[in-house]
Amino acid sequence: MNLPRRLAALAGYVPHGSIVADIGTDHAFLPVYLVKSGVCPRVIATDVNPGPFAAAEKVVTTYHLQDKIDLRCGDGLRVLQPGEAQVLIVAGMGGGTIRDILAVVPAMLNQIRRLILQPMVDAGDLRAWLVENGWLLADEMLVEENGRIYVVILAEPGTEQVRDPLLLELGPRLLEKRDPLLLVYLEEIIRRHQHVLSELARSSSTGARRKVRELEVKLARTENIYNYQGRR
């Protein structure tokens, strides 16, 4: 089974022999790959919505993996028992949704050794929650698929040193290791800030002026980081 690049990046962070819970699995392609490739002896695959859950059931049945992939329909970590999995994957959702899934049942995270997360938006909010709640950003990577850049975060229990909100938004490990896609990623972020600033320029409300000042500071710092990374 050939995995798309984004899912392959997630699979690359799974330690050999570990029991994984893939929360919000949808089609269950990743659990099928992890079991079929021998990385995981067993995977728990969950989804809260009946449509994606049915899609997962169909794929798991097609591959005759019902005994190795434990499918559960339900909300986030509520369908897990403490200690059932060592690794959690939560991918393809907004950073806020991922944060809420992790935050809602704190006891469930006690025995988790690895979080493999792939927020579609708001990665900074998710990183901020992780570092405030005893998780170290062990590694991060950018993946390009069909013209879009995705952020993948590996978190492990520990103390993260970086607390600067802008660095947490951009990705401390992406910056330190100068991810191969970093400059393209920063260019995208800079363009997005410039676009928002041009939209805000049409409004003269006090709120808009405050947002402009905040975003101008953020944009200037991001451009400095981009220029520094460009020279490295």
Ligand X SMILES: C[S@@+](CC[C@H](N)C(=O)[O-])C[C@H]1O[C@@H](n2cnc3c(N)ncnc32)[C@H](O)[C@@H]1O
Is residue 48 a contact point for ligand X (CB under 6 A)? yes
Count residues binding ligand X (CB under 6 A). 16
Instruction: For Cα atoms 17, 138, 42, give the angle at the middle one, nearest 5 degrees.
Output: 20
Q: Of the candidates 11, 20, 24, 200, which one interacts with ligand X according to CB under 6 A?
A: 24
- In angstroms, what is the minimal distance from the CB of 28 to ligand X? 9
Beta bridge partners of 22: 45, 89
- The amino acid at 183: L
Q: Tell me: does residue 52 bind ligand X (CB under 6 A).
A: yes
Give the chain's largest Cα–Cα span.
62
Contact between 108 and ligand X by CB under 6 A: the answer reads: no
Joined together, the tokens standing for residue 142 give: 């950018």
Buried b (16+ CB within 10 A) or exposed e, 138-149: bebbbbeeeeeb
Choices 35-43, 87-95, 127-135, 168-176 (CB under 6 A): range interacting with ligand X: 87-95
- 91 interacts with ligand X by CB under 6 A: yes
CA-nearest of 213, 131, 216 to 171 is: 131
92 part of the interface to ligand X, by CB under 6 A? yes
Neighbours of 85 (CB within 10 A): 26
Residue 11 makes contact with ligand X by CB under 6 A = no
Does 223 sit near ligand X (CB under 6 A)?
no
Which residue of 11, 14, 25, 71 would you call a contact of ligand X, by CB under 6 A? 25
Binding site for ligand X (CB under 6 A): 23-26, 46-49, 52, 75-76, 91-93, 97, 101
